[in-house]
Amino acid sequence: MSDAFVTLGEEAVAEYLAEHPDFFVGHETLLLAMRLPHTAPGAVSLVERQAALLRERVGTLEKTLRDLHTQAHANERLAARMHQLALALIAAGSPCEVLEAARTRLCTDFDLAGVLIGLEEGHPLVTPCLAPAQGELWPALFALKAPQMPRTSPALRELLVAHGLPETASVAAIPLRGRGFAGAMLLVKREPQGFAPDMGTLFLEQIGDLVSAALAHAR
């Protein structure tokens, strides 16, 4: 059988047309015989169908760009807050001032209901400004290796209520590590979904690193 009479499969035709997008420029008469089924009532030409597809793609791209623009602004605001936190920690002269700067900046800039800090092995210079870490939850917090968003538990609710915070609040737990001390910091949002278990932890890690470094170098 001659190659001219070989029946091409749909994939081969689609591949050829993809490689020759201007094929119909020299074969306009074929357009008259083409039929493009469409769910909308009435006849739809090839050009109209292509235009509709292009509009859909443009709309998708515009939404993607808007989402990226929104996320970029959110990242910019977050970077500015982290910058202010770093400056406040650098300016702190003593460990007690580091803790106060951390609490103040985090509550103000990140809209937190409170910040709880506990040290496992203690820190000789923060004893006057840091109450002992009491409650059955702290030992588990001191063992953290990375930030977490712990789920609500009786121990967590008890800890929140003991510090005058709503028991329905959401919490992010951040480990603190430095030369001569180990501890944890709890960031508390009033909204139950303010911190969700599926959230990323990069900025929480950065906060922990900043506070830990400031405590380690403060005198």
pLDDT in tens, 161-176: 999 999 999 999 999 9
Query: Where residue 152 falls among pLDDT bands split at 50, 70, 90?
Result: confident
Query: Would you state the pLDDT for residue 31?
Result: 61
66 pLDDT above the threshold of 50: yes
The verdict on pTM exceeding 0.85 is no
**Lowest mean per-residue pLDDT among 3-12, 141-150, 192-201:** 3-12
Query: Would you state the pLDDT for residue 83?
Result: 93
Query: Would you state the pLDDT for residue 36?
Result: 58
In whole angstroms, give the CA distance from residue 98 to residue 155. Answer: 27
Query: Would you state the pLDDT for residue 197?
Result: 80
Q: What is the pLDDT of residues 9-61, one digit of tens each?
A: 888 888 888 888 888 777 766 665 666 555 555 556 677 777 778 888 888 99
1 pLDDT above the threshold of 50: no
Closest CA to 98 of 164, 163, 181, 171: 181
Query: Would you state the pLDDT for residue 58?
Result: 85
Identity of residue 213: A
Query: Where residue 2 falls among pLDDT bands split at 50, 70, 90?
Result: very low
Q: What is the pLDDT of residues 89-137, one digit of tens each?
A: 999 988 889 999 999 999 999 989 999 998 887 667 676 777 777 778 8
The distance from CA 71 to its chain's CA centroid, rounded to whole angstroms, is 10
Query: Would you state the pLDDT for residue 179?
Result: 80
Identity of residue 40: A
Q: What is the pLDDT of residues 72-82, one digit of tens each?
A: 888 899 889 99
Query: Would you state the pLDDT for residue 107?
Result: 93
